[in-house]
Structure 1
Amino acid sequence: MTGAVMPYAVTLRAVYPRDPDTVFAEALHFGEMKQAMAKIAIYEGLPDGEVAAGERFTVDVLMWGFLRTKNHVMYVESLDCAARVLQSREHNPSVARWDHTLSLDPHPQGALWTDHIVLEAGWQTPFVARFCRYVYSHRHRTRGALSLTREIIRQ
């Protein structure tokens, strides 16, 4: 190996006290994500509507009012409402790969929301993975998850 940084996988599992179909339907609205991130981020250029397969958006993200990521591309690769699975492929000038799979499954307490993100950002990958874990953890805490597990694995 020539010292290249391998991709990292970030996985979060959050339990919600609601029906999985209801939680998944809520997750398909960009407005819901904006609301879950409102205390730490602003998404400039992201519509308020519902996610649809094949859509591509380019947004600027302003974190904490001073850290700006320009030209973050979000492509909704697939959406399977029956299986409650959404797959996006994202990237920006600093992050070559941000592949996100969101899935909702039944759980004894309601719904199990799983975010699985595979990241590649060159030498910054370990730091981006920790940032990703923080951002998604913030979203789940804001949404009122009953429990949350988080892991980062170097692939």
Structure 2
Amino acid sequence: MKTVRLSHVYEHSPQAVWSVATDFDCLQEAVRGLLVFEGMPKGSLHQGQVIDVNVSMFGVLPAQPYHMELAEFDAAEMRFVSKERGMGVEHWHHRLSVVPHAQGAELIDEIEIEAGWRTPMIAAWARYMYKRRHKPRLAMLARQSS
């Protein structure tokens, strides 16, 4: 098992960052070019949600089944835990929280990954993918505040 932890600071309110981080359209925009989801719902995450989609890496590789469950969701505390699996990953637990920060808000992602012998490669991919989401989120937040 490997844990990936990232933190990004935004010059926007915690509520604005939470809204972008929990919206499915914003998720698809944040991973554009890396992942293509088939069957992703519209709207926002909510407690108890179970999502089964097909995911294609880069929109080129064959789509594979992927399963996500919202195990914990607290909009007031701005945090959730998803339990995910698929695409060769046995265990992908994602904890996301948004907390106040002197500059606005801090978004913290912590992902526990178990993928057998592929774990180090999958963890490196996760670090890259979650880090790359920061720039599109900045653009989405800027559009929302203008």
> TM over 0.5: same fold?
yes
- Structure with larger RCO (C-alpha < 8 A, sep 6+): 1
Decide which moves more: 70-79 or 56-65. 56-65
Does the aligned pair in 2 maintain the 1:57–1:73 contact within 8 Å? yes
Query: How far off its partner does 1:67 sit?
Result: 2.5
CA displacement 1:91-114 (0-9 Å, x = unmatched): 015101000000001111110000
Report the equivalent of 1:72: 66
Flag structure 1 segments of 5+ consecutive residues without an equivalent: 1-6, 146-155
Residue 97 (structure 1) aligned with residue 101 (structure 2) = no
Q: Aligned partners of 1:130 and 1:18: how far apart in 2? A: 28
Structure with greater helix percent: 2
Residues 80-95 of structure 1: pairs in structure 2 closer than 5 A: 80-95=74-89
Report the equivalent of 1:8: 2
Q: Aligned partners of 2:68 and 2:15: how far apart in 1? A: 24
Scaled by the length of structure 1, what TM-score is found? Answer: 0.85
Secondary structure at the counterpart of residue 133 of structure 2 = helix
Which of the residues 30, 41, 46 maps onto 1:36?
A: 30
Does the aligned pair in 1 maintain the 2:33–2:59 contact within 8 Å? no
Q: Aligned partners of 2:57 and 2:102: how far apart in 1? A: 35
- 1:142–1:54 CA distance, 2 compared to 1 (3 A): same
Scaled by the length of structure 2, what TM-score is found? Answer: 0.90
Residue 48 (structure 1) aligned with residue 35 (structure 2) = no
- 1:71–1:108 CA distance, 2 compared to 1 (3 A): same
Query: How far off its partner does 1:69 sit?
Result: 4.8
Residue 62 (structure 1) aligned with residue 72 (structure 2) = no
- When the two structures are aligned, how many residues end up with a matched partner? 139
Query: How far off its partner does 1:40 sit?
Result: 2.3
Q: Which portions of structure 1, spanning 4 or more consecutive aligned residues, are displaced by more than 4 angstroms?
A: none
Does the aligned pair in 2 maintain the 1:90–1:97 contact within 8 Å? yes
Q: Aligned partners of 1:94 and 1:133: how far apart in 2? A: 17
Does the aligned pair in 2 maintain the 1:60–1:68 contact within 8 Å? no
Flag structure 2 segments of 5+ consecutive residues without an equivalent: 140-146
Query: How far off its partner does 1:30 sit?
Result: 0.6
Residue 130 (structure 1) aligned with residue 124 (structure 2) = yes
Decide which moves more: 91-100 or 66-75. 66-75
- Percent identity among equivalent residues? 36
Secondary structure at the counterpart of residue 123 of structure 1 = helix
